[in-house]
Amino acid sequence: MKVLVVGSGGREHTLVWKIAQSPLVESVYATPGNGGICREPKTQCLPWPGSLEALADMALEMGIDLTVVGPEDPLAEGIVDVFQSKGLLIFGPCKAAARLEGSKAFAKEFMSRFGIPTAEYSIFSDPKEAKSFIRGVGAPIVVKADGLAAGKGSIVCRTIEDALSAVDRIMIEKVFGDAGNRVVVEELLVGEEASFLAITDGEHVYPLAGSQDHKPVFDNDEGPNTGGMGAYSPAPVITPLVYERVMERVMRPVVEGMREMGHPFKGVIYAGLMIRDEDPKVLEFNVRFGDPEAQPILMRMESDIVPALMASIEGGIDHVEITYKSQAAVCVVMASGGYPGRYEKGFEIEGLEDVEGMEGVKVFHAGTIERDGRIVTNGGRVLGVTALGGDIREAIARAYSAVEKIHWPGVHYRRDIGAKALRRMGGGSCPC
Ligand code: AMP
Ligand code: GLY
């Protein structure tokens, strides 16, 4: 098979790495790819051809057998519909189903309609009405841009003043563009977060290994939200009871609800959860693999991923078996100085060769590019240093021992990735 992966981040590098291991796959193409993707075996990076139509034409000409979409933007823009209209096989939800991530207002209304547990909310398209509602209910409260905002559109507000200024920034200053035409204002949920991902074929749901992201930029979950500063799998907060509840109250109703609405959901459905006393509530839906959750999940996945991707498209995901290594995996994201705010690009990354060959360690590239044979920084999140270990403690220690060998000016990363899992397991503090 010839497989095309769309995207250029750490998640896409992980997908390429995993897909290239499949005995069913003879070559992998990535567009636009990044400095690490291009170095994977069987793999070639191709320039972004400019539009979804042009990409589909390119896939047809090249005889691509399967296309896998990493990020949410092309899904929300309808890449699946475009490819399907040309008879191409593509993994992911159609445009109508991708609204579960593309519009938070749609997702909240969907959850209300199908009885999926989530925070109480109101939706506003007029900033004055949003503000008067906020003054009425008080803080703490969460203000969210309706549309896509690279994981940064949800603002947790401790005071009424913060919430009013969040409305101004989203709806008047339009810091997230048209994504801020409407806001969702919702109740603040407390508890511990987890990411629950599953592959669906529109009818059946096949859960993937549990994981936990670390969204705020600084240790102890301080500072502004990012796309994700690290992740681990498995996530002990997803107990067997939580797992049952998420499948029963969230995953099956999503798939049944989307079918009932006439848009069966195919691809990865990802529920961002807040869990308190083993009672899960949905913070958000994503319609693709998490980044960086894909890194530890796929690092642990033992079975070939390609049959699962094909079964999502063609049906029969309930007949596929996905198996995992019993080991834990941890991914530490190394970011450019200034991220998630402004940052400079173009610094040479030193030390990558020192971690090659380290047992159980894989460096997934995100914002990197190859120039004259050297790898340089080219984005906010630059690398996802991922390690397997006999348990979470060993995986953390391995990941950080690799991270410490890699350097460029201004690099920063969280030093507490995995610490919550250690605390839950009574493991004390993080050995990093
Ligand atoms: P979202 O963009 O909806 O995934 O939100 C990003 C992050 O904001 C989440 O991972 C949570 O940390 C936080 N968040 C979003 N909604 C809520 C909520 N209702 N209560 C508490 N925290 C929230
Ligand atoms: N790690 C969060 C996301 O993929 O949206």
Q: What is the pLDDT of residues 305-359, one digit of tens each?
A: 999 999 999 999 999 999 999 999 999 999 999 999 999 999 999 999 999 999 9
Question: How many residues can be counted in the chain?
Answer: 432
- Tell me the CA–centroid distance for residue 60 and ligand 1, in Å: 40
What is the Å distance from ligand 2's center to 286 Cα? Answer: 8
Does any ligand 2 atom lie closer than 6 A to the CB of residue 230? no
Q: From CA 280, how far away is CA 114, in angstroms rounded?
A: 16
Sequence-distant (≥ 6) Cβ neighbours of residue 406 within 8 angstroms: 334, 349, 350, 351, 352, 354, 355, 363, 383, 385
Residue 289 tokens read as 């693999």
- Residue identifier of the C-alpha nearest atom 4 of ligand 2: 290
Q: Residue 432 has what pLDDT?
A: 36
C-alpha to C-alpha distance for 183 and 31, rounded to whole angstroms: 33
Of residues 139, 147, 153, the one with CA closest to residue 182: 147
Q: From atom 3 of ligand 2, which residue's Cα is the shortest distance away? A: 290
The Å distance, Cα 155 to ligand 1 centre, comes to: 8
Identify the residue whose tokens are 């939200």: 225
| Residue-level pLDDT at 425 | 76
Annotate 214-261 with DSSP letters as a single string. --EEEGGGEEEE-S-SEEEES-TTS-HHHHHHHIIIIIHHHHHHHHHT
Backbone φ and ψ for 187, nearest 5 degrees, come out as -60, 140
Series of mean pLDDT values for 10-residue runs along the chain (432 residues): 98 98 98 97 97 98 98 98 98 98 97 98 97 96 95 91 97 96 97 96 97 95 92 96 98 98 98 97 98 98 98 97 97 97 97 95 98 96 98 97 98 97 67 38
Q: Which ligand is nearest to the CA of 71?
A: 2
Structural domains in the chain, sorted by start: 2-92 (3.40.50.20), 126-181 (3.30.1490.20), 192-424 (3.30.470.20)
How much distance in Å is there from the Cα of 412 to the middle of ligand 1? 23
138 contacts 160 by C-beta, under 8 angstroms: yes
pLDDT tens per residue across span 228-287:
999 999 999 999 999 999 999 999 999 999 999 999 999 999 999 999 999 999 999 999
pTM score of the predicted model: 0.96
Distance 136 CA to ligand 2 centre (A): 32
Find the ligand nearest to 10 CA.
2
CA 400 – CA 331 distance, rounded (Å)? 9
Phi-psi region of 357 (alpha: psi -120 to 50; beta: other; left: phi over 0): left
- Pull the structure tokens for residue 305: 């991923």
Report how far residue 400's alpha carbon sits from residue 416's, in angstroms, rounded to the nearest whole number: 10
Lookup: tokens for 327 = 């080991």
Indicate if ligand 2 lies below 6 Å from the C-beta of 151: yes
